[in-house]
Chains A and B, each alone.
Chain A
Amino acid sequence: MRKASYIKKTTGGTVFDVFNALFMILLTATMIYPFLNIFAISLNEGTDAVRGGIYLWPRKLSFANYAYVFSNESLLRGAAVSVLRVAVGVATGVFGNALLGYIVSNRAFYGRKFMRVLFLITMYFSGGLIPTYLLMIRLGMMNSFQVYWVPNIFSAFYMLLTSSYIQNLPESLFEAARMDGCSELRLLVSIVLPLCVPMLACIAVYIGVDQWNSWFDVSLYSKNGQWDNLQIILYRLLNQATALQKMMEKQRVAAAMKTLQPLTVRAATTIVVTLPIIFIYPFFQKYFVSGITIGSVKG
């Protein structure tokens, strides 16, 4: 941006430019290196990898780790729960917040201010962990899938995003539709939502990443393990030395998998958990700025 001609070239400036570029390259490398390293380890044979010294390339190439990850029952079930969480969470969250944003952006609606304030208060005050935990138990949401999405349908933050977007749509659009006797819900679904696709996609990414990455609520509410997702399985692989053994006892392991080690299985699981994120987030970059600005000014 400021490589413009009016800036005088000096030796000091050039030296700085070189160092700055070098530093930035180094910094970017440290950002990305753990991902490359873990990828290399996931593609290496287990017993060989434990010896250490794998930096960028696998030493003894092997797909046994991935073969194991994709054949293990609890990991597959965890992946299914993770995907289901994202699908249901995104669908209900996007629709819920679009509906809420639509209601509080309707200037003619008498209850607009009431609804807005009702949600804005929740941005500043919350019950905190323990009262929320006890509420979930009381509602019978322990060991159920509902606990992942029902408490996350609406959010004050996304309400601000959707309502400020909908407010900027031309008002004549709404009036014409209402004049024709279009119902509010129908107006939302067939006229407003199609016009909000970029903003809704952004919210979908936010919610989807959150749902995919959640692990703490799983550790709280999935007590019998029925609704464990990938993250919590990876958490156990990290924190319990016996977790992999327990998982392997449950199934007969093929000969090629005899060399499996916690280190390499962990690496392969980490890659499987991370890949979807790596592929999705770069495409929504241009929306991040507006999201962050609203969040920091009003929250």
Chain B
Amino acid sequence: MRHSALSGTTVTRPDGAGGLLRSLRTQRELWLLCIPIIIWVAVFAYYPMYGILMAFVDYIPGKEIFQCDFMGLKYFQQFLTNPSIALLLRNTLAMSSLSLTVGFVAPIAFALMLNELGGRKTKKLIQTVSYLPHFISWVVAGSMVYLVLSSDGILNNLLIQFGATDTAIPFLTKGEYYWTTYTIVNIWKSMGWSSIIYLSAMSGVDEELYQAGAIDGLGRWGMVKHITLPSIAPTIMLLWILGIGNILNAGFDYHLIIGNDATRTYWDVIDTYAYRYGVQQGFYSMGTAVSLMKSLIGFLLVWATNTISKKLTDTSIF
């Protein structure tokens, strides 16, 4: 029995096995509503989790996983000894580490600069505009990338007009440019949206702190350094830990839309590889093994970073 402080009446919350039976009787209606939900979550969330086991067997569609030949870690081994893995890892780590450094700092810098801007309305307007790229689909973003960066695109037009280059620069067809364009487009698309959480942490800072800082002789930069930044430090740490877990996620939609055969050696990442082999060519077990390995490494990295962060800064996500 529990006492509800709000209404002053008792709320029955039966405990134990007898409680379950009683609940099935008295709360039958709620349980009935739960049935379709439980079926849904079992089919669409838990059954695919069970499907991961196909990474350990030679899966043939139409058969049950336990009816297929057990392969152990063969597919994992096959992937790890695959000659193309070096290239995949290079591309994955190059693009994800660019996102984790430049892409991670950009929204923080944006939030800090926006916070220094005077005028509520201007700030609000800039913020609203900065969200826009987040809400458009990757296909639309891709359409704009083609428009700006293709050999007869706006950027090349401008560069030629101002004499910066004689011939068009092949931003989209030369592999060397791929990582840079990927990083810039990603920042363009996500910076405004990612800054929301920092801005909301900044707006929570007590105004009196700044007043006290002024009395102690802090200038503008001093206030940013000693008051604003420390106030968002836990948020930065939290997002950093989560970001580490994404180190093997180096984009997917973008590569399928912007990547082409000429630039493949620069964009083929673990996810696109698993998709190509696992879905398009039908090597289901192999593709699942690759994805599983990727998730496990991501999880281990988050756990390790979290442990270190807990020790050093007292910030943790679990």
Task: Give B138's nearest chain A residue, CB to CB.
Answer: A215
Q: Mark A265-299, 1 if CB is under 8 A from B, else 0.
A: 01100100110011001100100110011001000
A254 at the interface (CB under 8 A from B): no
Residues A107 and B41 in contact, CB atoms below 8 Å apart: no
Q: How far is the CA of A185 from the CA of B29 in the complex (A)?
A: 8
Q: Which of B2, B50, B61, B117 has the most CB of A within 10 A?
A: B117
- Supposing A127-B48, A238-B142, A296-B239 touch, asked if A35 and B132 sit within 8 A by C-beta, the answer is yes
B262 at the interface (CB under 8 A from A): no
What are the residues of chain A within 8 A of B287 when measuring CB–CB?
129-130
CB distance from B301 to the nearest CB of A (A): 14
Residues B147 and A31 in contact, CB atoms below 8 Å apart: no
Interface contacts beyond A131-B51, A150-B44, A213-B137: sample of 9 additional A-B pairs, CB < 8 Å, sorted by A: A3-B119, A37-B154, A100-B37, A111-B27, A118-B41, A130-B278, A131-B52, A139-B43, A238-B139
Residues A129 and B275 in contact, CB atoms below 8 Å apart: yes
What are the residues of chain A within 8 A of B197 when measuring CB–CB?
289, 292-293, 296
- Supposing A41-B147, A296-B242 touch, asked if A129 and B7 sit within 8 A by C-beta, the answer is no
A255 at the interface (CB under 8 A from B): no
Q: Mark B39-50, 1 if CB is under 8 A from A, else 0.
A: 011011111111
B84 at the interface (CB under 8 A from A): no
Residues A53 and B157 in contact, CB atoms below 8 Å apart: yes
- Supposing A131-B51, A132-B48, A238-B143 touch, asked if A21 and B7 sit within 8 A by C-beta, the answer is no
Task: Give A273's nearest chain B residue, CB to CB.
Answer: B140
Main secondary structure of the interface of A (DSSP, over half): helix
What are the residues of chain A within 8 A of B116 when measuring CB–CB?
2, 16-17, 20
Q: Mark B89-103, 1 if CB is under 8 A from A, else 0.
A: 000000000000000
A190 at the interface (CB under 8 A from B): no
Residues A3 and B118 in contact, CB atoms below 8 Å apart: yes
CB distance from A256 to the nearest CB of B (A): 24
A246 at the interface (CB under 8 A from B): no
Q: Which of B31, B147, B200, B238 contacts A267 (CB 8 A)?
A: B147
A: which residues have CB within 8 A of B?
1-4, 6-8, 10, 12-13, 16-17, 20-21, 23-24, 27-28, 30-32, 34-35, 37-38, 41, 50, 52-53, 55, 96, 99-100, 103, 106-111, 115, 118-119, 122, 125-135, 137, 139, 150-151, 153-154, 170-172, 175, 183-185, 209, 212-216, 220, 231-232, 234-235, 238-239, 266-267, 270, 273-274, 277-278, 281-282, 285, 288-289, 292-293, 296
What are the residues of chain B within 8 A of A285 when measuring CB–CB?
127-128, 131
Q: Which of B119, B129, B200 contacts A289 (CB 8 A)?
A: B200
Residues A103 and B37 in contact, CB atoms below 8 Å apart: yes
Q: Which of B11, B61, B131, B292 contacts A128 (CB 8 A)?
A: B292
Q: How far is the CA of A37 from the CA of B48 in the complex (A)?
A: 43
Q: How far is the CA of A126 from the CA of B45 in the complex (A)?
A: 6
Shortest 4 CB-CB distances between A and B: which pairs?
A127-B48, A131-B51, A110-B23, A213-B137
Residues B9 and A10 in contact, CB atoms below 8 Å apart: no
What are the residues of chain B within 8 A of A171 when measuring CB–CB?
4, 6-7
Residues B139 and A215 in contact, CB atoms below 8 Å apart: yes
Q: How far is the CA of A65 from the CA of B203 in the complex (A)?
A: 46
CB distance from B185 to the nearest CB of A (A): 10
Please report the number of residue pairs spanning A and B whose Cβ atoms sit closer than 8 angstroms.
256
Q: Which of B11, B27, B45 contacts A107 (CB 8 A)?
A: B11
What are the residues of chain A within 8 A of B238 when measuring CB–CB?
296
Residues A110 and B14 in contact, CB atoms below 8 Å apart: yes
CB distance from B131 to the nearest CB of A (A): 7
What are the residues of chain B within 8 A of A35 when measuring CB–CB?
132, 144
Q: Which of B114, B118, B128 contacts A282 (CB 8 A)?
A: B128
Residues B200 and A231 in contact, CB atoms below 8 Å apart: no
Q: Which of A41, A111, A231 contacts B137 (CB 8 A)?
A: A231
What are the residues of chain B within 8 A of A282 when measuring CB–CB?
128
Q: How far is the CA of A35 from the CA of B141 in the complex (A)?
A: 10
Residues A111 and B295 in contact, CB atoms below 8 Å apart: no
What are the residues of chain A within 8 A of B126 when measuring CB–CB?
24, 27-28
Residues B41 and A119 in contact, CB atoms below 8 Å apart: yes
Q: How far is the CA of A269 from the CA of B169 in the complex (A)?
A: 27
Q: Which of B29, B135, B242 contacts A184 (CB 8 A)?
A: B29
Residues B61 and A13 in contact, CB atoms below 8 Å apart: no
Q: How far is the CA of A1 from the CA of B119 in the complex (A)?
A: 8
CB distance from B99 to the nearest CB of A (A): 17
Q: How far is the CA of A187 from the CA of B211 in the complex (A)?
A: 50
CB distance from B266 to the nearest CB of A (A): 18
What are the residues of chain A within 8 A of B87 when measuring CB–CB?
none
- Supposing A118-B38, A129-B275 touch, asked if A172 and B6 sit within 8 A by C-beta, the answer is yes
